[in-house]
Chain A
Amino acid sequence: MSDEVKSPNYWKSLNELAKNEEYQKFEEREFPENATELDDKVSRRSFLRVMGASVALAGFAACRRPVQKILPYSKQPEEVIPGVPLFYASAMPFQDALTGLVIENHEGRPTKVEGNELHPASLGSSSKFNQASMLQMYDPDRSRNVTKDGQASSYNDFAAFCSEHFADTDRNIVFISEANSSLTYNRIKEQALNKFSNAQWVTYEAFSEDNAIEGTNIAFGERLRTVNHYDKADVIVSFDDDFLNPAANKNSVENTKKFTKARKVESTDDTMSRLYSIESTFTVTGSNADNRLRVKSSEVPLFIYALASKLSESISGLSAFSGYTNKFSNHDWMQPLAEDLLDNSGSSVLTVGSEHSAEVHAAVAAINKALDNDGDTVTYHEVSHFDDQNNREAFANVVEAMNNGNIDTVVMVGTNPVFTAPADLNFDEALNNVETSMHLSLYVDETSSSTNWHVNRAHYLEAWGDGYSYTGARSVIQPQIEPLFSGISEIEFLNTIVSGEQTKGYELVQNTWKQFYSTNFKSKWEKILHDGIDGENIFPASNVSLKRRFSAQLRNALSETEESTGMELVIRPDSKLFDGRYANNGWLQELPDPMTKITWDNVALMSKKTADELGIEAAGLGVAQAEMLSITANGTTIEVPAWIQPGHADDSITITVGYGQDRSGRVASGTGVDTYPFRTTSSMLFTKDISVEKTGQTYEIACTQDHSSMEGRSLLRYATLDDYKEEPDFSSYDSAYDAELPGEAYAFEKGVDEPLSIFDAIDEAEYPDYEPQWGMSIDLNSCIGCGTCTIACQAENNIPVIGKREVSNGREMHWIRNDRYFEGDVDNPKALHQPVPCMHCELAPCEQVCPVAATTHSDDGMNQMTYNRCIGTRYCANNCPYKVRRFNFFNYTKEFLTDGQDPEVIQMAMNPEVTVRFRGVMEKCSYCVQRTNRAKIQTEIDTNGATMKPEDGSVKTACQQACPADAIYFGDLTDKESKVTKTKLNERNYLLLEELSTRPRTSYLAKLRNPNPKLA
């Protein structure tokens, strides 16, 4: 076998790149040294604390026969058949955009979230936030009652207080609300503003669309929402905009769907769009770019202005920029990029990160307009619930009024400004100057602790609601379960304040919809509940034209934007916790960040060059010790662990927010550092001229990037689109290694198709023809590396959360991991993503070594794991070349049931179709066997025994169903027409470690990039 890999060398970390002895020793071990011993200093208690909601249920057989009860309904609801799950349409609000969902219910308890195919913001897929929202509802740390000045109270008392307090309609009231697109909510908001003559309403979000809206106002004179159509674009230029990441874009699922759709390549005749990314932090979107340029965030506007200036030489509409020059005007990229945009005028789109200033958004809008993109690849929409004010400014004004004692009542809905508001506003102190304050929230968080009244909020899965998707599709949110902790929804809360009454959410929502459905209300109402969408009332697209004053307004911005010299700090929402609202969610905390692969913490990201200048060394292997930095910005000094992110812009440090919350629950507390104090009204995105020092301390980071290494073999294969057209089979073993597949010649002599292996060739009888043969293929050209599959799998398969220390030990339990590889130069590498579930090898090495036959092969071609046989020798994991087997070192289940506070709540979150595993049992991806078996049984019943092979597409694995990029295909390989069979016949199809003759059922389609040849 040839060890010479022809394709580029991929590496996961700086340690691997260095290829030193320490690394080789590390990767040969299954777990880091000492990790397999059970003498951890972590006490059981603290281990449990970490578990939070994220643990498991079980039925425990004691020695005696357990007496189980069967409780039938007294009056059985008509549509319920015990044992058959029901699916209801609903939608998840995230800021002011809904994603349509279909929710799986088992006897009245929701267990799994899926996308709604009819809904434009979902198209059947979902984001990691959608998937993880299920766990949030079952979080036992959620607030359970109303409190007044910290003392337990009741909603009746609150309502009584409201009717008395708000009887005086001249009060100076401020409503500080989260962004909410709900029709009912905004109806009651109007009522509130009409009733209280001195009331002000501010929408406050830590990360918002405000600058983008203000940008269209500068450019076009209207406050509009920008919608990019990535499926229609041939050239996409992203300036610091991570539009594929749900934490950075409200419409990420639709964006991802459309972006990957335009890049599906089925044959050499197909084309792909081209994505340019100009950014400081290495983001998910940047890793999918065909050409990526590292630029400090503070200089991204300069690049945009220089590009506009360059384009103004060729097209009209950019006179504001003509003659303008800066350091980027003669940049290598400028000419090729401008040419590509001009060539694709009308089918290109430029987009900029939402936290960049309004002027920058205006400039990008002007370029899009000048390139004739508006109406095609980008549309601008009037949004009914937008406020007429700049909410960022309004919020600052309100805080000032609070400080001046001009406000007597503050009502806060959903948001957590004490934690997230810009530090210079000192919101907590301002709140002290207000006589009466009330706060509706899921957790008793920082803000709740500073207010007079705290009202416990109902989760969206528990309450009636409604709203618009990003593009204006309207939906009704229907509750799946009675509020677990008797929470109150935001519409009920607001209605109590306005009317003093405790009207139910159902009635409030219906009252709203009766306005729209004036005739046939009942049937229309039932239809929207059933479909989850009514297909009407899309936000109207506006015809926009550049404002006359645009040039004058932009000139100021042009002269004010300066080159950046010193070190700068970039503040971004966290890819998992967003603004901190998901901090108590174990699934998200433990999901490795798509780019850094860090779990449970936030870090200060910097390039290798910057790290060298600061004297920072890469964190070591195993339990990684990161060096602590003391960062001073805007007069605040915070210590943050340093982390080298290859591909980060030089002289720039990125940190994410949302960590360091000690109030909102057991999972969140003790994770990461609160970095919000760095953020001020003038530095929402970046702060220039910060000072950074090493403290000499170190901090333990749980990072999975070096786990499950496959030791330098050619696992990832990719080519440029042009190379692929020349050499379509570039991903075959022969091409990748420039050598013949071992055994191929011998097999050819013997006249068999496939190489022989040390095992017997497959006997046809082993795979009976009446059974389907399951197989999967993963299109690496579509996969964006977001990690939604991991969360969906965790939700479907009752996978436990294990905590930071255990992740450090390499014991993470995820059945599908997402490997992130770098390629090329350490300063400016490319990044690639590869999801790795169990390969379901036909000749599985794990099966050969199990002493108790706990892992064997099924008739439908799966590598099956039989938990009740497993005795935990872990031989199989040692022998798995793909390192996909996971071992239960602790009894996450029982510990929580005996010590936990709320076993019932946690039990409810479990999928009853999947066994909850015990300690000492090996587990791994099962191709969602509970779903395939259910489909097989149903097919056999439906066809009256004619066949047990489900129709193609009728059974989807959890990862496949959730994937917003449609990167995963799964189906029956005996069906020659099935999508998965066709995908496997594609010339880009390849197998991992094909030379081992394991014959994996999971295969990959090699990745393609479409870089600009002039920038190569």
Chain B
Amino acid sequence: MAQIFPKWANEIPGRIALGLIIIVTALIAGIWYYFSPEYTDVGYAPTQPIEYSHKIHAGQLGLDCQYCHTSVDKSKQANVPPTQTCMNCHGQIDSQKPEEIQKIRDSWKSGESIEWVRVHNLPDYAYFNHSIHVNVGVGCETCHGRIDKMDVVYQKEPLSMSWCLDCHRNPEKYVRPVEEVTTMGYVADDQIEMGRDLVAKHNINPPTYCQGCHY
């Protein structure tokens, strides 16, 4: 009796298996990468209602972060400044873009808020407190990047849980002296040694259990 399947058909199950392995691996790898905050969130740079440039203010003019973000060392939130803060200077100073300044003055006059678009957005079930980080020497730039070089603010770091835990597990790699918190481009001579000293000095014991952040 003639054989129904040719000889090469013997290889089909093997190829299917191999193919499946490749597809599944690709799928997992794809989801792993493309669904991760590294891919989806980093680089998020929404258009803001006012063409405000951190590069000019924090970089060229050298304003300290805390001139505007006043509550960063007192509250869980680093506040976006009220229009009032803008008006401290722009009550008198114009810029190259008078139409942008006008939006601030309109808001000041009407009392309406400027609707900024949120860039760094943590999920609702994660609680983050700015004050404790700033008070023990986690620099602004450590999480937000070189804001002084950004015309439009974008998300520099993934803000994922594993990223948080990198520092919570090894804070000595990231902390700096408290007085250098707002410094941009800070580099320590020997980060690890200084970090260890700072961790000891401030009793830094970041929580790595769930309820440290999730409740």
Contact = CB atoms under 8 A, between A and B. Distances in A.
The finding on whether chains A and B are genuine partners in a shared complex, rather than unrelated, reads: yes
Interface of A: 58-59, 61, 65-76, 81-84, 768, 770-771, 856-860, 862, 864, 866-869, 913-916, 926, 929-930, 933, 937, 940-941, 944-948
Given A70-B80, A72-B83, A866-B211, 10 more contacts: A66-B121, A67-B117, A68-B117, A69-B116, A71-B114, A76-B82, A82-B77, A83-B71, A858-B211, A937-B132
Given A73-B113, A74-B111, A915 B129 contact: no
B82 A74 contact: yes
A331 to B, nearest CB: 57
28 contacts: A61-B124, A65-B121, A68-B121, A69-B116, A71-B113, A71-B115, A72-B80, A72-B82, A73-B84, A73-B113, A74-B82, A74-B107, A74-B112, A74-B114, A76-B82, A82-B75, A83-B75, A857-B209, A862-B211, A866-B210, A915-B125, A915-B214, A916-B124, A929-B215, A945-B201, A945-B204, A946-B203, A947-B203
B91 interface: no
Interface of B: 40-41, 44, 46, 71, 74-77, 79-84, 107-108, 110-118, 121, 123-125, 127, 129, 131-132, 135-136, 201-205, 207, 209-212, 214-215
A388 B117 CA distance: 63
B54 to A, nearest CB: 15
Contacts of A66: 121
A868 B127 CA distance: 12
Nearest to B126: A868
A944 B178 CA distance: 11
A68 B121 CA distance: 8
A858 B205 contact: no
Interface centre among A82, A860, A945 (most CB of B within 10 A): A945
B114 A933 contact: no
Contacts, number: 142
A930 B127 CA distance: 9
The 3 tightest CB contacts between A and B, nearest first, are A83-B77, A83-B75, A945-B202
Given A84-B75, A937-B129, A859 B209 contact: yes
Contacts of B84: 73-76
Given A70-B80, A70-B118, A929-B211, A770 B203 contact: yes
A398 B209 CA distance: 67
Nearest to B209: A858
Contacts of B215: 864, 914-915, 926, 929-930, 933
Contacts of A937: 129, 131-132
Interface centre among A59, A75, A860, A946 (most CB of B within 10 A): A75
Nearest to B208: A859
A945 B44 contact: no
A940 B82 contact: no
Contacts of B121: 65-66, 68
For the residues of A in contact with B, the DSSP-based class is loop
Given A69-B118, A72-B83, A768-B205, A941 B131 contact: yes
Nearest to B76: A83
B82 A75 contact: yes
Contacts of A946: 203
For the residues of B in contact with A, the DSSP-based class is loop
B75 A74 contact: no
Contacts of B74: 81, 84
Interface centre among B108, B110, B115, B207 (most CB of A within 10 A): B207
A81 B80 CA distance: 11
A860 B205 CA distance: 12
Nearest to B70: A81
B9 to A, nearest CB: 43
B83 to A, nearest CB: 4
Contacts of A857: 209
A73 B70 CA distance: 13
A175 B124 CA distance: 51
Contacts of B131: 937, 941
Contacts of B113: 71-74
Given A76-B82, A83-B71, A941-B132, A866 B76 contact: no
Given A74-B82, A945-B204, A867 B112 contact: no
Contact of B115 (A69, A73, A915): A69
Interface centre among B108, B132, B202 (most CB of A within 10 A): B132
A913 B132 CA distance: 16
Contacts of A75: 82-84, 108, 111
Contacts of B201: 945
Contacts of B204: 945
A685 to B, nearest CB: 48
A926 B214 CA distance: 11
B210 A858 contact: yes
A61 B116 CA distance: 19
A67 to B, nearest CB: 6
A857 B209 CA distance: 8
A608 B77 CA distance: 59
Nearest to A68: B118
A940 B137 CA distance: 13
A913 B213 CA distance: 11
A411 to B, nearest CB: 38
A859 B209 CA distance: 7
B149 to A, nearest CB: 22
Contact of B207 (A72, A76, A859): A859
Nearest to A107: B77
Contacts of A76: 82, 84
B123 A61 contact: yes
Contacts of A947: 203
Contacts of A74: 82-84, 107-108, 110-114
Contacts of B110: 74
Contacts of B107: 74
Nearest to A927: B211
Contacts of A771: 205
Nearest to A856: B210
B93 to A, nearest CB: 19
A81 B211 contact: no
A65 B121 CA distance: 10
Contacts of A59: 124
Interface centre among A72, A84, A768, A859 (most CB of B within 10 A): A72
A66 B201 CA distance: 40
B164 to A, nearest CB: 14
A770 B117 CA distance: 39
